[in-house]
Structure 1
């Protein structure tokens, strides 16, 4: 069996290298500039980011970078547009932020690209298209667009199409609003490319992409008496190939698999994935750290990954009783939970993602660190891990383009080795919450505050 290690085991150099950073590396960062989501499209040619200011920035793969051997993961700005504006709900006297919570790409069917973006309340379908030609020689209006006096039209002309500078236009094609009482935390496209789901704290709705004024409520966990509320929905996603299946996670650390063929309202799940809690390890923080912040089905559709505060778990959809793989992300923070609770970091919601071949996992941590885990050769039989790696998205990495990154290590004991960083020295303001993996190549995108870092595996 082919094997390679991600590092030398002592925090040495890896095969990963820095490719690009987008955004200014200045210390003065406004809240609106913070990146709130990252998403590659289905072929990896485009990469979209959303920020807290309601803007969507789309990057396009540099054509020259694909011709290199090995290929380079380099992207250029393709389009920037304002997706959402701040609103005010007068009935509830509530401000609605413009922050982009999620972006999801539709599979390409023609020359244009389509994507869904959402803030807390409103989902929009955007069309992104190119225009590199212009029509000249109109009879009824001037070249500037002003209507022409009919008395001045002395001869008829045939309009002609001429080349023009490339323009990328983003226009809203559909607006899906007024269907969620609570904040939208997830949107997910169905494999049929006709429907999608949106989830908030207590409900999941099913939409058709062509119908904006009607959605179907497929999950409702709101109790008759809100005082009896014990859990909320934290994430939801459709199965990648089975259009009738979807999963959703909860703040209680459970994941439910639902089948829409069983009933119109999926109030009864087909499967419940839950790991029994060790009563000896229970503490005041147990319920908080067991809340699942993200759930992602593998590209093959057989496995599912969930992220809680301290680690990653991989589940086999055919086995509900326990995860087949468990990966501690920052177990060294368990002794710091009290201070993390006081500064609200314990409520941070980390996302996770699969590599295109489902053999590697990625998620974020603090201090600009993000973790990559290489799964066992069989892809989830519970076997030994082939490697785990901690990398850093930092200015230091940006200063060494295409140079191998050094694996970072955190000292878990009082004795600190060379090249290790103490737990007490971690910067909890540098959070890596949002990451994305190219669907076909070893190119990853990592959002660090207002910067988008791109890395690639030289191997």
Structure 2
């Protein structure tokens, strides 16, 4: 894969010496398909999210299911009480295990609009953990659900308490039958007066059979606490929880709504870009996210390649932005594909809250929210595909939406690409670090690091053609446009990346 890292002048996430290059190694894989195995559409992963502690990871798929993973390499994480009693191994990188899964959304049909609503999970966001219970939000195109996952003890029972005597006959037990008499008093009668159904079996007497508790197993029980529905006319593309732990936002193409977690029948429209005449529509909302520490700030991106920062304290309807971050178009560079490739598919705030990362089709851009003049760093991801934009348009690949993510320390950024590749860039001033790996059990077979010159990164991928949907550039590099790594997430505290390739979840550490 071809890539480059162009760092502009400015202040980035870390004003320190250039850190050493990260050496990425394979950690784990869940759900890897066998050679030639056909992947079901419903099993394709469509969302990935770590919680704030990094102890839990959630994935959603196109079948409407949410799968939870829990960290197991260190003690005292989450609600793993069973591990607290053991001497758990402490490794130098996170390790996760499967915990549970549940059906979050089902396919629906909107009879008023004659529209099918698929069950695909678009986004997952973690909420605050309370009393060892996990809370998270999940959404498909129209409906948001608030889930609580709690660890409970489930009792297991034996069939009955059948006891036998020494000679093998059924032990006797005294049973008294009752019946009503006309005056309302109770009368007792012996077994001989019972009906045939309750008669004493030959060779023994009747037995009162009661279940007996054999064991108490711990199990995770998911419960849908609230459903937030009927608030969006268009497909929901983003949800984001607020730092106040009380509210969250949901965004579709034209509107952003503010919700209270405790109220599911009312929301407040805080951004509305719908024009009076839909023929005058020039841009749509593509992503939205709350500031990590300031509950009054949020940012949203648009299909025109701009990111707007708004302050909820200024107005109840935030039609006017506080700041706008967009890069000026070079004279004479506009083409038929310009608006498509500049549309931003994802934005993420850095943990420090000062920097913002945006991903469009061609590049990653790192912004300083105190500087609107331009990005402080630009990372070329798909520049090598520019000569093939016409082919990508014909196959609809040009409309693919790739996620982006930042490391917890703000020193690195990552995003996905085709052929199940993902790229990691260093964003410290003076760093040209760029690494590309393939989502595979053996990532070392396709890993190139560069720390000298952006020009020498023209031969990142050296692969074999994978079929009719593959293509190659002038350098002979092969790209499979049917295998795309759209979703990935960086661990909040460690150099650890989880990424999805079709139905498989791969994890890497450095």
Paired residues in the alignment total 422
**Shift of residue 228 of structure 1?**
0.8
Deviations along 1:294-337, one digit per CA (max 9) or x if unpaired, are: 01111100010100001100111011121111111121111111
What residue in structure 2 maps to residue 307 of structure 1?
A: 359
Structure 1 match to 2:509: 456
Distance of 2:277 and 2:459 partners within structure 1: 55
Q: Secondary structure at the residue paired with 2:375?
A: coil
Map residues 16-95 of structure 1 onto 2, 5 A cutoff.
16-26=24-34, 27-63=37-73, 68=89, 70-95=91-116
1:389 aligned residue: 435
Which structure's CA Rg is the greater one? 2
CA contact (8 A) 1:132 1:163 kept: no
Match of 1:118 among 115, 136, 139: 139
2:182 aligns with: none
Residue equivalent to 1:407: 447
Note if contact 2:367-2:377 (Cα within 8 Å) is conserved in structure 1: yes
Contact 1:369 1:393 in 2 (8 A): yes
TM-score by length of 1: 0.86
* Unmatched tracts of structure 2, length 5 or more: 1-15, 78-87, 162-175, 180-211, 464-471
Q: CA deviation at 1:76?
A: 1.2
Determine the C-alpha separation between the residues in 2 that align with 1:125 and 1:395.
34
In the other structure, the counterpart of 1:342 is 394
Q: Deviations over 1:40-98 (max 9, x none)?
A: 11111111000000000001112469955642332111011000000000000000010
The correspondence for 2:480, drawn from 410, 427, 433, is 427
The partner residue of 1:130 within 151, 155, 162 is: 151
Relative contact order: is structure 1 or structure 2 higher (C-alpha 8 Å, sep ≥ 6)?
2
Distance (whole Å) between structure 1 residues aligned to residue 214 and residue 252 of structure 2: 48
The 1:235/1:116 distance shift into structure 2, 3 A limit, reads: same
- Per the alignment, residue 176 of structure 1 pairs with 228
Change (3 A) 1:419 1:181: closer
1:138-176 deviations in Å (ceiling 9; x for gaps): xxxx99xxxxx9979xxxxxxx99961111110100100
Matches within 5 A, 1:137-286: 164-286=216-338
Deviation at 1:408, TM superposition (A): 4.0
Deviation of 1:131 after TM superposition, in Å, equals 1.1
After superposition, the C-alpha distances for 1:10-43 in whole angstroms (9 at most, x for unaligned) are xxxx721111111131330011111000001111
CA–CA distance in structure 2, aligned partners of residues 290 and 104 of structure 1: 26
Shift of 1:109: 2.3
Equivalent residue of 1:214, what SS?
strand
Q: Does structure 2 conserve the Cα–Cα contact (< 8 Å) formed by 1:409 and 1:420? A: no
Report the Cα distance in structure 2 between the residues aligned to 1:213 and 1:69, rounded to whole angstroms: 46
**Structure-1 residue corresponding to 2:497:** 444
Segments of 4+ moved more than 6 angstroms: 149-152, 416-419
Q: Is the 8 A contact 2:73 2:90 kept in 1?
A: no
SS at match of 1:300: coil
* Mapped partners of 1:53, 1:419: distance in 2: 32
Q: If the length of structure 2 is used for normalisation, what is the TM-score?
A: 0.77
CA distance in 2 between counterparts of 1:292 and 1:384 reads: 26
Structure 1, unmatched stretches of 5+, are 7-13, 137-141, 144-148, 153-159, 377-382, 398-403
Alpha carbons of structure 1 residues 406 and 2: separation in structure 2 relative to 1, 3 Å: farther
Q: How much does 1:108 deviate?
A: 1.2
